[in-house]
Chains A and B, each alone.
Chain A
Amino acid sequence: MKYNTRHILNKIFTVVTAASVALMIVILIAVLGPMIWRGSSAVFFKSTVEFRKMQLDLHRRGDKTEIDDEISQSEVYRDFIYHKIDAFKKGINTDYYTDRVKKIYRQFSKELQYNGIKGDELSRRRKFARGIRRDMEKAFRSLNKAEILQIIDNINKFKGDERIANTKAVEFFALADEYRKTIKNFDLSKRQQYAQALEEVESLVKQLLGPRSNEPLPAMIMDRYGATRLDLANELLGKIIWKRQWVQQSSGKPMIEEKICRSTQFAGTELEDLFPYIEENFDKITIPRFTFYWQYFIDDSTSGHYFGGVGPEILGTLILTVLAMVFVFPLGVISAAYLVECASENMVLRIIRMCINTLAGVPSIVFGLFGLAFFVLVFIPFFGGPSKPCILAASLTLAVLTLPVMIRASEEAIRSVPKTYKEASLGLGASQFRTFVKVTLPAALPGILTGVILSLSRVAGETAPILFTGACAFGSVPKSLFSQTRTLSYGSYDIAVGDKIGMLVPHNQYGMVVTLVLLIICLNAIAIFFRAKIFRRLKGH
């Protein structure tokens, strides 16, 4: 009976432990699985022709003739879309005219200055031209045909005025005529109805296809290309074809979302058949192709991590981690050696040990502020370095952060070396120091490496200690110990809180986090490999 109870209890214990391990694995998969799945989409995805164009422009990757060929293939369909929009736009959106009139005025004023006209004469003539510009802008804004025609007639009266004769400003009149022709057969009341809807469609099409080839290059790289990934492109396609709209059903109730087909919204206009056209020829416009973007791990990114990869971040994280290990390893081992081998067990030692344990529990942001106050503002300037955050300060801070872990692990490892080893060495006449270096340390090394593994993972993932001491959100690849660096941990934080771009590129955000996890796994694997190797050698194999 007694035996049976014990047997059952044993069985229950086995089942419970197995269940908890299974639960842990399930949780691990539930947490890491979706993250890795989404993160891997930063590297494996279907790219559009825009992506290949960007790779060619920024990194000279890919075959130029092949990509040019693809671009010209898709250009055929794009031209049709642009043509449709332009035809519809002319009477609706007069920004185009406003921009042109502003440009003419600017050129006119430059021309006058170039011709050496100064002072009162210059301001007199400029004032006159400005008057015309203002009138024309008014005409472009107006919804009243009679008023527009009258303004244009008024402007035409100034034709041949000596103040603007033979200058760029005569183009005003050509523009005014062009505008008169445009609105001649156009129903101006449509303008209000469609202006906003058209703007929406235009901006969506621009996001999908990128700027037109005849447009001036946008200032930021992220605006120079359309949707580079098929998943983003599909999302945009949905937005182009279906318009989301919130409709009030009855007063006092929340509004309800409705989807409206855009071709019904633009029914009866030139744009009506544009939307089915885009949907039908979507593959020919985007030319999707499966891509393995391994350069994600070496590429630099554009501002806000919109395009590109995490190369500098990986490098920065590696440098910080390795340097922190270089600092902490000797410090930790020597302190542990003192605590085990030299110090005698007394009150002071107990206090020191307690301090180390407390240090291990201090929040990491405290170390960050300590690093700022000590390493950045005092320690490094004391040795003649610049009083600015840098890699050196950050890795020293990380070393201090992980020092307690290292000391505790080394202490345990050194203590667990069999006393007989040491006694044999001492008995052969070796000194204390020699015994420690040649006998105790090698035997304790696997245990110390366990400490290294624990610290590695902690150091690579920390954000708070390096926030004030050496990490930056934007910066080039570090050139020296005294420059700042980007890191994976701070980078993923930056995407999450900084820019609205972060909401547009979730794959990059997940990609960065997954890269960090992979990096830590790799570093750990290396350390475990070495530990196993040393262990085998100690066993005498």
Chain B
Amino acid sequence: MKRIIVCGLIMLILVLATGAIAAEKQTLQIVGSTTVGPIADAFAETFNNKYPNLDITIKKTGSGDGAAALLDGRCDIAIMSRFMKDKEFKNAVSKGIFPVPHVVAMDGVCVVVHPSNPVKELTSDQVRDIYMGKITNWKQVGGADLKIVIISRDTSSGTYETFHKLLMKKKEMVKTVEYVNSNPQAHARVKTTKGAIGYIGIGFLDANVKALKLDGVMPSRETIASGTFPLARPLFMFTNGYPKLGSMTHKFCSFYLSEMGQEIVEAKGFVPVTNY
């Protein structure tokens, strides 16, 4: 009995190890942002059907880890919801790696409130005042007499960085802000809390939360693509140098240009970069 188990285990290891030698599959490793992750997932699904010999793995550990992985050579493509920071860029270049960005889609960060909230519109200054704790009641911005519950993403997320840079103008948020870890969580918190205000990617908007007009502009495909919506941002795929033409990396990074790629980007709730 014991011998059978031991033999079985040895066989398993042997099979797995020889598999490593026998495998001549092309691999494509993708690491990075949870925001861009769904796009990569959907692209990969299409690629798996199209090229059965291709082995794609995707890991969503955040934009920061994407950059680090590209620098370590742990991945072929880093997906990021923000541009590389100066330091990351310098580190990369000193290691002989030249990050090339491919903008695959546009995303808008929408300020959302509970659907029962009568407020329809806020200015950037008002939102900044709310997040800095200067406005604490919805009454002050023309709403009901209700305390404002402030929801924000955690400080390491790309969404937070966009919000912090473009809207908060890098001013510090008030201490009572409640930090959540992901877009679905922010959505769930706003959905269930009457006085809540939060911000989520445009892909997560639905009937359970209400998006506010910001400076008189409603977040939509058109306003984000044209840049009139103040909180629009591009989503990136970074590669080491421009990928070799015809390679799988190149095909993957330029897939967003095809009609199908654009359709997927749109189906995922993001805004395609061109009007196909």
Q: Using CB atoms and an 8 Å cutoff, list the residues of chain A in contact with chain B.
A: 218-221, 223, 244, 246, 248, 251-257, 302-304, 319, 322-323, 326, 376-377, 387-389, 391, 467-468, 471-476, 478-484, 494, 496-503
Contacts and interface: CB of A to CB of B under 8 A. Distances in A.
B38 A254 contact: no
B179 to A, nearest CB: 14
Given A483-B23, A500-B204, 13 more contacts: A219-B42, A246-B210, A252-B145, A254-B118, A254-B194, A472-B58, A473-B60, A479-B23, A480-B17, A480-B23, A494-B60, A497-B185, A499-B38
B45 A472 contact: no
A254 B117 contact: yes
A480 B14 CA distance: 10
Contact of A248 (B23, B38, B118): B118
B144 A480 contact: no
B144 A253 contact: yes
B56 A474 contact: yes
A474 B41 contact: yes
Interface centre among A253, A303, A319, A388 (most CB of B within 10 A): A303
Given A326-B9, A376-B74, A500-B184, A476 B55 contact: yes
A37 B143 CA distance: 41
Nearest to A481: B16
A500 B203 contact: yes
Given A303-B42, A304-B41, A497-B34, A255 B116 contact: yes
24 contacts: A218-B263, A219-B260, A220-B46, A251-B118, A253-B144, A254-B117, A254-B146, A256-B116, A303-B41, A303-B45, A304-B42, A319-B16, A388-B73, A389-B59, A472-B58, A476-B55, A476-B57, A480-B16, A480-B19, A483-B27, A494-B60, A497-B60, A500-B206, A503-B184
A389 B27 CA distance: 13
Nearest first, the 5 closest Cβ-Cβ pairs linking A and B are A480-B20, A475-B57, A497-B182, A480-B19, A474-B58
A220 B116 contact: no
Contacts of A326: 9, 13
A302 to B, nearest CB: 6
B116 A497 contact: no
A224 B26 CA distance: 28
B267 A498 contact: no
Contacts of B58: 472-475
Given A254-B116, A497-B181, A499-B37, A483 B60 contact: no
Interface residues of B, number: 62
A494 B40 CA distance: 14
Interface of B: 9, 12-13, 16-23, 25, 27, 29, 34, 37-38, 40-42, 44-46, 48, 55-61, 65, 72-75, 115-118, 139, 143-146, 181-185, 187, 194, 203-204, 206-207, 210, 260, 263-264, 267, 269
B59 A472 contact: yes
Contacts of A474: 40-41, 44, 56-58
B57 A483 contact: yes
A389 B57 CA distance: 11
B182 to A, nearest CB: 4
A498 B37 contact: yes
B72 A500 contact: no
A355 B23 CA distance: 41
Contacts of A255: 115-118
A499 B115 contact: no
A500 B37 contact: no
A312 to B, nearest CB: 11
B183 A500 contact: yes
Contacts of B181: 497
A220 B144 contact: no
B56 A220 contact: no
Contacts of A218: 263, 267
A501 B118 contact: no
Interface centre among B42, B116, B144 (most CB of A within 10 A): B42
A304 B269 CA distance: 14
Contacts, number: 151
Given A387-B73, A497-B34, A468 B57 contact: no
A473 B267 contact: no
B47 to A, nearest CB: 11
B58 to A, nearest CB: 4
Contacts of B25: 479
Interface centre among A252, A254, A481, A502 (most CB of B within 10 A): A254
A248 B117 CA distance: 9
Contacts of B18: 480
A500 B44 contact: no
A473 B31 CA distance: 10
B140 to A, nearest CB: 12
Given A475-B56, A475-B58, A388 B38 contact: no
Nearest to A377: B72
A472 B57 contact: yes
B45 A220 contact: yes
B42 A496 contact: no
A478 B207 CA distance: 40
A221 to B, nearest CB: 7
Contact of A502 (B20, B116, B146, B184): B184
A468 B41 CA distance: 18
A254 B57 contact: no
A306 to B, nearest CB: 10
A497 B57 CA distance: 18
Given A377-B72, A388-B29, A500-B183, A484 B263 contact: no
Nearest to B182: A497
Contacts of B56: 474-476
B139 A252 contact: yes
A473 B59 contact: yes
Nearest to B263: A219
A483 B54 CA distance: 13
A387 B72 CA distance: 9
B216 to A, nearest CB: 20
A474 B65 CA distance: 17
Contact of A483 (B55, B115, B145, B187): B55
A223 B267 contact: yes
Contacts of B143: 252
A496 B185 CA distance: 8
A443 to B, nearest CB: 15
B61 A467 contact: yes
Contacts of B146: 254
Contacts of B267: 218-220, 223
